[in-house]
Amino acid sequence: MKVAFFDTKEYDRKFFEPYSADGLEFIFYDTKLDENTAGLAYGADAACVFVNDDINAKVIEKLNTYCVKLLALRCAGYNNVDLKAAAGKIVVTRVPSYSPHAVAEHAMAMLLCSVRRVHKAYNRTRDFNFSLNGLTGFVLHGKTAGVVGTGKIGGAFVEICKGFGMKVLAFDKNPSCGGAEYTDFDRLIRESDVISLHCPLTPQTRRMINRDTVAAMKKGVIIINTSRGELIDSEALLEGIKQRKIGAACLDVYEEESDLFFEDNSGHILNDDVLARLISMPNVLVTSHQAFLTEEALDAIARTTVENIRAFFERGITQNEVVLH
């Protein structure tokens, strides 16, 4: 079985190469999968992709023409795949859960860094500046956290917030977390001091944080997004920060990240003016979609992806298949 592996990073090779044996061969490509690079999958039985590969209808058609039978996502989200086009042509599998605590802990790490000004103190002390001016933070204990989406990651974040003594409001169509008080989205954004997004990107959730919802939030609210960038209207976020309505933003994802994140752009001019302005704000933390990046998560991603591939080709089982509803 040959697997065309797209958007390869050094850590991918480390965790997937040990599986290149016993009839399974990974062909690693640094480039992302899109209409222009789909030809690299010619001769492969499967294609392995990540969050910023663009698997639209034209890509699906090309993969089908090349007799690629399986599209193995090494991530949980699948909003970058045209499932309607894939139906009946190519099977799509994913990694539904790899390390929910990794993402939840990163969300809390960003929140703590922001509210206690750790990033500012770090930069100061490296210049031997030990002044405390401008470093006043606030205590999380007793504050209200609003958690949007309480699946495994959101549920883990709820537990962390409870450990800090926070009141937790939650919004989810399928309530499943016992540690939170479920409510409607409108109340959550009105009453929360911290809003953390842990829901999938769907037509209903796209840009759920927008000018209208920002206007309804508490003054000084902190927004955390470790899920999908398009949950937030970035221009509305920037406007809310400039108007001092949003007290801080912790972003591990960004709606236009596909051509920027996971790459070293330090020697280039950043053409995305909104992202450049967000990064320039003293109350905005941006990390490059790294919330999942732990040894445990990478091991689980590789193991589950390989299990999905072997189950399909060796036993005819569509394990962790993504089905169009």
| Active site residue ranges | 228, 257, 289
Cβ 54 vs Cβ 12: under 8 Å = no
- CA 145, 148, 154, 159: dihedral to nearest 10 degrees? 20
Q: CA of 192: how far to CAs of 104, 148, 226, 271, in Å? A: 18, 11, 18, 34
Q: What does the alpha-carbon distance between residue 131 and residue 76 come to, in Å, rounded to a whole number?
A: 44
* Closest alpha carbon to 90 in 134, 51, 45, 49: 45
Q: What does the alpha-carbon distance between residue 239 and residue 263 come to, in Å, rounded to a whole number?
A: 27
Per DSSP, helices labelled H in the chain are 10-16, 57-65, 83-86, 100-115, 118-126, 152-163, 185-191, 211-216, 234-242, 273-280, 295-315
Structure token pair of residue 293? 């990046």
Cβ 249 vs Cβ 241: under 8 Å = yes
Structural element, H or E, at residue 285: strand 284-286
Q: What does the alpha-carbon distance between residue 316 and residue 309 come to, in Å, rounded to a whole number?
A: 10
Cβ 146 vs Cβ 191: under 8 Å = yes
Structural element, H or E, at residue 170: strand 167-171
β-pair partners for 222: 194, 248
